[in-house]
Amino acid sequence: MAFQRAKITVFGAGFVGSTVAQRCADKELGDVTLVDVVPDMPLGKALDMFESSPVERFDARIWGTNAPEDCADSDIVVITSGIARKPGMSRDDLLKTNAQIVYSVVDKVREYAPKAIIIMVTNPLDVMTYLAHHRSGFPKQRVLGMAGVLDSARMASFVALELNVSIKDISPMVLGGHGDTMVPLPRYTTVSGIPITDLISPERIEAINKRTQTGGAEIVNLLKTGSAYYAPGSSVVAMVESIVKDQRRILPCCVLLEGEYGLKGSWQGVPCVLGKNGIEKIIELKLNDAEKKLLDTSNQHVAKAIAECKTLLGL
């Protein structure tokens, strides 16, 4: 029986999407289909990426297309499609536009790749993950959002800078929504098993937490005309790899909670075991009162955004 590589489809060939496609191919996680509405652009990017394979020595095919139905039979679908907020555009306008884009993509996935696992990247992340689940009708195990891996990576980066130690020894943990109310957890963030609360002063930990919460905005302010894509792309690929290889890594992802952490019907970033079926298990950490309060605040923020979205879209 011939070996069949996984099929990974990435919707949106912008900076994040193309980074995901290239790194999935580099790691030989599967064959990659890159989809975008801009005429010929994804074909050109995909051809350029594939032409790097003889140099980088990876065995993976990369195709570009303007036809969403080319996602057919995908094992994993990564959705980065959406627009950035433009001058004069209200938050509601942005949400409505991106919701329509996500709906159009999810409709194609539901029709042509009904067994796929969906990883959402489009912002506002928590709301868009909810919409993808609602629109697709897929089991909750097969719809998840990329946020916690990125937020945790940013926290780990800042810890490494603070302590001047190898990034390889740092295991970070961030819960909650993908925004200013996310919940970095210093007690569960370790360096070679040592909690950072034993290594860094409370004042410096607070500074690291704050920088983690505003990490995306910091990069936007520096770039002036764009947002982050290298770290977000790598974060998506870590999730894809754990699923494709059935690694069962514990990674923080935006998922539907149905009683975990005392939350029901909530979309929050929490640690999950990721394997061949998507979300294999949700890990419920023992939080102290202060941490529970922060997670509750984050949950209220996300719940309010989803409620506003439902009203705006008439759901």
| Residue linked to tokens 């298990």 | 281
Q: How many C-alpha atoms does 73 have within 13 Å on its Cβ side?
A: 6
The pLDDT assigned to 246 comes to 97
Task: Identify the active-site residue in 133, 134, 178, 301.
Answer: 178
C-alpha distances in angstroms, 44 versus 2, 12, 35, 41, 252?
30, 14, 11, 5, 34
Domain ranges of the chain: 7-145, 148-313
Distance CA 164, CA 202 (A): 17
The pLDDT assigned to 161 comes to 98
Q: Residue 238 — φ and ψ, nearest 5°?
A: -60, -40
Q: Tell me the pLDDT tens digit for each residue of 210-255.
A: 999 999 989 989 998 888 999 999 999 999 999 999 999 999 999 9
Distance CA 205, CA 214 (A): 14
The pTM (predicted TM-score) of the whole model is: 0.95
Of 3.90.1300.10, 3.90.110.10, 3.30.420.40, 3.40.190.10, the CATH number of 148-313 is: 3.90.110.10
133 is catalytic: no
Q: Which two tokens mark 129?
A: 């993950």
Please confirm whether the linkage preceding 124 is cis (ω < 30° from 0). yes
Q: Cβ(170)–Cβ(161) under 8 Å?
A: no
pLDDT at 76 over 90: yes
pLDDT at 2 over 60: no
pLDDT at 147 over 60: yes
- CATH 3.40.50.720 at 7-145, yes or no: yes
Q: Cβ(218)–Cβ(191) under 8 Å?
A: no
The pLDDT assigned to 1 comes to 42
Distance CA 18, CA 37 (A): 14
